[in-house]
Structure 1
C-alpha cells in the first residue's frame, strides 16, 4: 500500500486572487492535490437562498457561482511549484472526450506535469437544466475514457466506433509534457464503472461512507485491474471525504441538527443510507448526488425534503467532530486500503464563522494522520 497523501477542495468562485492564495497556502501545508469542482449549480434550491433561512444569502447573491476549473488550474499553476491540480470531477456530457484530451494535454504543459483528470458520470443538476442528454451515463463515461486514452496514445490517426462517440482518422498531435500523460482518476461506484476503472484509470475517487464497504469495492477494483492484465495496485485508492470539522463534539451536533444547508447537502446521499435509517429518500431517488436538481424544487418542497433527512443519515454522511475524532474515522479507511483522501470540510456551510479557522483544523487532521503512518 502506498503512503497516504492528502487532497483539499479548491476554491472555484471569484475573486481569483483568493483561489491562488488558497493554493499557495495548501502547497505550503504539504497538501498533495487540489481538487476543483466542475459545476454550474450548487445543491441549494433558489427558493431557500434567503437571509431568513441562510445567513450567507446576502441580497443579490446566489450560491450557484462556479468558475471553470481548467482555467483556474492553469492560473494556479503559474503561482505554485509542486502541488497537483485536478478536476474533482468533470464529465463527458458537457465536455467531449476529444476536448477533454486536448485540454488536459494543454494543462499538462502549463502545469509542467501536475494536472490530473478527475472524471465521473456527471450530475443531473449540471446537465438537465441545460438541455443536455442525461442517460446511459456509465457507458458514456467508459467510452469517453477509452477515447481519451486512444488520443493520448499516439500522434497518428485513430478511429473509434462507440455508442456515444465516434472518431474517424482523428489526430491529437500534442504530446504529454513528460514521459506519461496526465493521470485519470475515475469517480466509480457501481460494478460496471468499477471494472472499467480497474482497466483504465490511474486513480479511484469515490464517495463512500463506510470503511468496510470501501474495502469491499476496492477489492473488486483490484480484481478488475488483475483481470485486465495490470498490477493489482495499478490504481491509487482515493476518497472524496465529506467532513464537518469543529472544535467540540457539541458544536458538530448543533450544526448537524440545525443547518439547513447541510441538510440539503445530505439530500445527495444514496437511497441506501435512508433505507439504513428506516425510511425512504425524501426525493424518491436512487442517488441524490447524481439525480438531485435543486432548481426543480420549490421553497416549500426543499424545506420539507431537508426536514425529512434523519439525524442518523446526517451523522453518517459527514465525518464530524474534532480533528482527532475525524482522523480516527479516516484511519479506518486507511486500514481498508485508502491511499489518498480529499478533505472536504463543510462546517462553514453550517456556520460561516468557522471559515477563518478551518485551515487550522484541517492541518490538525493532517498531523494526526501523519503521526499514525
Structure 2
C-alpha cells in the first residue's frame, strides 16, 4: 500500500508485521494479549448545545476515553451542497459553518464530562498566539479531572485566507508555537523567546496546570518534517491521512527515531489517529453509506498526489493539497461539486475504516499491531440520518470495549 502523504512512502509490509500478527492471533506461539487501544469520540462543536450535551453523555455511558472537538471557523462542506437531503445537519442547520469556539465550549463541557479526557483536535497558531493557546489549555486542566489533549497542527487555508491571515511557513510557525507552549506549561516568571515568527520579551504566564494534569500536546503530523517535530516536542501523534497499518508504522518510526535523537523516551509519545470511519449494522449497509454524498465528499479532501495513486486527476487541480487548501465558499457551482464527488475513486473512499463494529475492531487491531494506542473516529456516516447518528453512538461503545480489552 502506498503512503498517502508526501515524503513517507510505504510499499509492501513492515518487516516483522506478519510474525507479530500471527503471534497475536495465536498461531505459532500461542495466544497473547493484543495491544490496548483507547477510543475517543469526535463531538460536533455546533449548536444546538443540547446535541453536544447528548454526545458527551453518550461518551460517558459508553465508557469512552475522550471527547474531542474541532477548532474551525468554516466547515469543509461548502454551502452550495447544504440543502435538504444532503444529510442530518443540513436538514437541521441553515449553514454548515455554525461553529462554537472550542475553548469556551470545552470549559462548558468540563463541568459535565466526569472522567472523560477533553481535547481539541486540532487548533493552530495563526488565529491565536501560542501564549493564548497555552493559557486556555492550562485553564481547562483546572476545570477537568484528567490532562487535556491540546491537539495542534499547521493549519488550513479555510481558517486563514478568508480572514486576511497569511497561510505561510506553517510548519516553522508551528514549531515555534509548540516550543513556547511547552515553556509556558512549566515555567514561572518572565521568559524570552526569539524566533522568526514570535518574539517574546519578559513574557509571563504563571498559570501552571495542577500537578498530574499538564495538558498533552498532540501534533497532527504527516510529512517528514512534521513527524520529526512530533518526536522532538510532542506528547502524542494525531494524524488524519493514513493509508494502511504499514504506512502508520513507518511514520511512527520516524517519530520515535526523532525522539531518541532528541534524548526523549519514544514510548512516552501516544500514537493516536483521527480516522475516517463508516459504521453500519451490516457490511452492506456500511458499503451503501460509503456512496452517500456526506461520506464521498471526504474523498475531495485528499490531495491531488493521493488521487494520482489511484490513477485519477483531482477535480480541484494538480497542485491541490486537499483539506489544507480547500476554501469551501469559493466552491459555489453545485453541478461541478456533484461531478467532483462522483469522480472520487472508489478505492480512495474505501481507505476509510468501514464495516460492522466487529469488522472495524479487526481493522483497528491491525493498526494496533503497527503501534496505534488511541483512536478518535470521525464518523461522517453519522451525518446521514438520525438513525445512523444514534447507531454510531452505541457502536462506538462496542468498538471501544473490544479494543480496550485487547482480546
Query: If the length of structure 2 is used for normalisation, what is the TM-score?
Result: 0.86
Cα offsets for 1:123-177 (capped at 9, x unmatched): 1112211111111111111110011112223112111111111101111111111
CA distance in 2, matches of 1:154, 1:372: 39
Secondary structure (helix, strand or coil) at the match of 2:268 reads coil
Secondary structure (helix, strand or coil) at the match of 1:27 reads helix
Cα offsets for 1:83-140 (capped at 9, x unmatched): 1100010111111101111111111112244322111111111221111111111111
2:147 alignment counterpart: 114
Secondary structure (helix, strand or coil) at the match of 2:301 reads coil
Q: Is this contact kept in 2: 1:204–1:237, CA < 8 A?
A: yes
2:250 alignment counterpart: 216
1:303 alignment counterpart: 338
Inter-CA distance 339–301: structure 2 relative to 1 (3 Å threshold): same
Say which is worse superposed, 49-58 or 23-32, in terms of deviation.
49-58
Q: Is this contact kept in 1: 2:71–2:101, CA < 8 A?
A: yes
Which of residues 194, 199, 203 in structure 2 aligns to 1:170?
203
Q: Does 2:377 match 1:343?
A: yes
Cα offsets for 1:302-328 (capped at 9, x unmatched): 222212111111111x21111111111
Deviation at 1:256, TM superposition (A): 1.9
CA distance in 2, matches of 1:59, 1:151: 41
Deviation at 1:270, TM superposition (A): 2.9
1:282 alignment counterpart: 315
Deviation at 1:52, TM superposition (A): 6.1
Which consecutive residues of structure 2, in runs of 5 or more, have no partner in the other structure?
1-33
2:9 alignment counterpart: none
Q: Is this contact kept in 2: 1:113–1:178, CA < 8 A?
A: no
Q: Does 2:191 match 1:158?
A: yes
Query: If the length of structure 1 is used for normalisation, what is the TM-score?
Result: 0.94
CA distance in 1, matches of 2:362, 2:243: 14
Q: Is this contact kept in 1: 2:60–2:113, CA < 8 A?
A: yes
Which consecutive residues of structure 1, in runs of 5 or more, have no partner in the other structure?
none
Q: Does 2:374 match 1:333?
A: no
Q: Does 2:40 match 1:7?
A: yes
Which of residues 66, 70, 80 in structure 2 aligns to 1:47?
80
Inter-CA distance 177–252: structure 2 relative to 1 (3 Å threshold): same
Q: Is this contact kept in 2: 1:113–1:177, CA < 8 A?
A: no
CA distance in 1, matches of 2:92, 2:234: 44
Cα offsets for 1:305-359 (capped at 9, x unmatched): 212111111111x211111111111111000000101122221233443112222
Inter-CA distance 21–49: structure 2 relative to 1 (3 Å threshold): closer
Deviation at 1:34, TM superposition (A): 0.8
Inter-CA distance 56–86: structure 2 relative to 1 (3 Å threshold): closer
Inter-CA distance 225–357: structure 2 relative to 1 (3 Å threshold): same
- More relative contact order in 1 or in 2 (CA 8 Å, sep 6+)? 2
1:203 alignment counterpart: 236
Q: Is this contact kept in 1: 2:87–2:384, CA < 8 A?
A: no
1:124 alignment counterpart: 157
2:137 alignment counterpart: 104
